[in-house]
Amino acid sequence: MRKIIILILLIWPNISVADQGLKITCLNLKSAFGRKYEPLHFKLEATVFHYFDDQKGQFQTIKTNELDIGEDYFTAKFDDYELGFQIILFEGKKKPQMVMSKYDYHNNKFLEHYACTAVHVYID
């Protein structure tokens, strides 16, 4: 009997459900004018927002309960800068677009602006 139960457990499909999150890819708007930029990649999960900061050479993370979240935006605040993501419906467009801006606290100005795409993914 034991062998039959073990065999059933081994053969029975293992179905696991992962949490769903957002995979966000952003491209610098200056790339529309001929400059070549690498896209930035972000993940927004149920518990954490993270991405790899090329300038610092390390992963930056912030807990989702520390994000400033609104109806059509969220902002991730770090020590030196903040990343503001927003869904905007541009004039003449039918589909809203996600954009991201990087704001520098030390210089009190926006550094870069990005056009983003977001897709739902299952987080490993």
As a whole number, mean pLDDT of residues 111-116 equals 93
Residue 112 located in a structural domain: yes
Write the CATH number for 88: 2.40.160
Residue corresponding to tokens 């200056």:
30
Residue 54 located in a structural domain: yes
Residue 58 scores a pLDDT above 60: yes
Q: How many angstroms separate the Cα of 103 from the Cα of each of 6, 14, 85, 124?
A: 57, 45, 11, 31
Q: Which structural domain range is residue 27 located in?
A: 17-122
pTM: 0.76
Residue 48 located in a structural domain: yes
Residue 61 located in a structural domain: yes
Dump pLDDT digits (tens) for 67-111: 999 999 999 998 888 999 999 998 998 999 999 999 998 899 999
Residue 102 located in a structural domain: yes
Residue 64 located in a structural domain: yes
* pLDDT, position 6: 61
Lowest mean pLDDT segment, chosen from 13-22, 26-35, 79-88, 114-123: 13-22
* pLDDT, position 10: 58
Sequence-distant (≥ 6) Cβ neighbours of residue 62 within 8 angstroms: 48, 49, 50, 76, 77, 78
Residue 75 located in a structural domain: yes
Residue 29 located in a structural domain: yes
Number of domains in the chain: 1
Lowest mean pLDDT segment, chosen from 12-21, 46-55, 96-105: 12-21
* pLDDT, position 71: 92
